[in-house]
Structure formats: C-alpha cells, structure tokens
Amino acid sequence: MPLTTMLVLGLVVGVGAFVQRIAGFGLAVVAAPFVVMVAPQVMPAALLFVVLPLPVLEMARAHRDIRWRPFGWAMAGRLATMPLGVWLAANASHTVTSLLVAGMVLVAVAGSLTRWRVRPSSGIALGAGALTGISATTASIGGPFFGLALQELTPQQARSTLAPFFLFGSLSSLLGLAIGGQISADGLRAGLAWLPFMAVGALAAQPLRHSIDAVRFRHSILALATVSALAVIVRVALT
C-alpha cells in the first residue's frame, strides 16, 4: 500500500476511533467503506486488529456498567455464526465484500434512525450476535446489530456492554480468520500502522464525551456513513 494511502486511511481510522469513544461503536462504520474502496486486500483483519485497544479502555473505565447477560447471549450467537463469516471472507470476491460493507453501513444508519425500541432480551441479543458473527468477520462491522439490541440501556451501560463484545468478538473473528488462512501480512501491517491514529482519535474524544450535542453528532456521523456507503456502491457499479 502506498504511504500516502496508508496515511489518509489512518486519518479516517482516527475519525472512526473518535466516533467510537463518543457513541460506543463507529470505527468500522466510518472507516470500512473507505478502506474497502482503496485497499480491500487488508480487509477485514486490519480494522478488527486496530479496534482492539478501544474496548479495553472502556472496560477499565466503566466495567461496573457492563450488562453481562446480554453480552453472553450475543457472544454465543457470534461464535455460532463466525465460521460462516470466515467462509465468506475466503470465498467472496472484492466486489461482494465491498457491497457487504456498504450494506452493513446502510443497515447501521437505518437502525440508528428507527424509532423501534427493543428490550435487550436473551433472544434479541442472541440474534444480534449471530448477525454480527457474519458481518464482523467478513466486513469488520460488528457494533450496529448489538447496539440496537441495547437501546433500552443508558448510553453508558450500552457503551460498556459493547466493549467486551468488541474485544472478545474481534479476537474470536481474528482467530477464525487466522485458522482459515485469511489474515494477510498486508492486513497486519496496516492494522499496526493505524494504531497511532486510533490512539489520537480516542484521546481527542475523551474530554468531549459528555459535552458534545449527541443528536447533532449522531446525525453528522450518519450522513458521513451514508455518503461513504453509497460511494462504495457507485464505485462497484462503475467498475
């Protein structure tokens, strides 16, 4: 990957890390469309790797707010379908992967805008985890489905419960991809190179977590995610 491309995508990862520290998820939703357009060969391993430190920070800061029951059901669902995600990562073309990334981003946007509210029941958490086992392992997008299942929790409880789901879920997906031979050297190098950008984005968000207008911030991020996902679809249609 050219150095300029690596740096530009690193900046996008930094923005995604900023979003995730504010909203609880968002690094992959923001970054994945750009990465899959410019450097699909590093997907999904690079983003699964670079996101790992963020949930550790959240768990260390607010572990008492974690709701372990929905987390456990969601992880069970994720582990059950993760092998299917590995199979898709091994067999899907770059075109299919790009469309999957774009589709997952648009689903995340639609889910964030819906007025439908759900309780974090065992069945809902299990289903959200099962969907994530496919989407995260194939497209590195793992937060939206479980995030929707946690809507009835307070923002802090939702962020804290998402944290171990990201950590252990990303580790399990990376393990599955490694067993399936789907982690390239390019993916690992990109993930390592983007860690400083992730750290800067996360640190920049820390003092603003409770002062940013949540509604305006969410709408801005959803608009950015929508445009980037549509750009992926248009690029696929033109190639």
State how far the Cα of 144 lies from the Cα of 160, in Å rounded to an integer: 15
Neighbours of 108 (CB within 10 A): 25
pLDDT for the residue numbered 116: 61
State how far the Cα of 33 lies from the Cα of 30, in Å rounded to an integer: 7
Q: Which amino acid is residue 133, in one-letter code?
A: G
Is there a contact between 232 and 36 (Cβ–Cβ < 8 Å)?
A: yes
pLDDT for the residue numbered 58: 80
pLDDT for the residue numbered 72: 95
State how far the Cα of 120 lies from the Cα of 157, in Å rounded to an integer: 12
pLDDT for the residue numbered 115: 61
Return the residue matching tokens 């445009």: 227
pLDDT for the residue numbered 73: 95
What does residue 110 show for φ and ψ, rounded to 5 degrees? -60, -40
Residue positions counted in the chain: 239
Is there a contact between 159 and 58 (Cβ–Cβ < 8 Å)?
A: yes
CA dihedral (81, 83, 88, 91) in degrees, to 10, reads -160
pLDDT for the residue numbered 12: 93
User: Quick one: tokens of 157?
Assistant: 């409880």
pLDDT for the residue numbered 117: 62
pLDDT for the residue numbered 189: 92
pLDDT tens across the length of the chain (239 residues): 788 999 999 999 999 899 888 777 778 888 888 898 889 889 889 999 998 998 888 888 878 889 999 999 999 999 999 999 999 888 888 888 888 888 877 877 776 666 666 666 888 899 989 988 988 888 888 777 787 788 778 877 888 898 899 999 999 999 999 999 989 899 999 999 999 999 999 999 888 776 776 666 666 666 767 777 787 788 777 76
Is residue 63 packed enough to be buried (19+ CB in 10 Å), middle (13-18) or exposed (0-12)? exposed
pLDDT for the residue numbered 217: 65
State how far the Cα of 216 lies from the Cα of 202, in Å rounded to an integer: 19
- State the pTM of this model: 0.82
Nearest to 235 by CA among 1, 35, 3: 35
Could you tell me the CA-to-CA distances from 158 to 76, 99, 166, 215, 228 in Å, in that order?
Answer: 18, 28, 12, 16, 26
Q: Is the peptide bond before 2 cis (omega within 30 degrees of 0)?
A: no
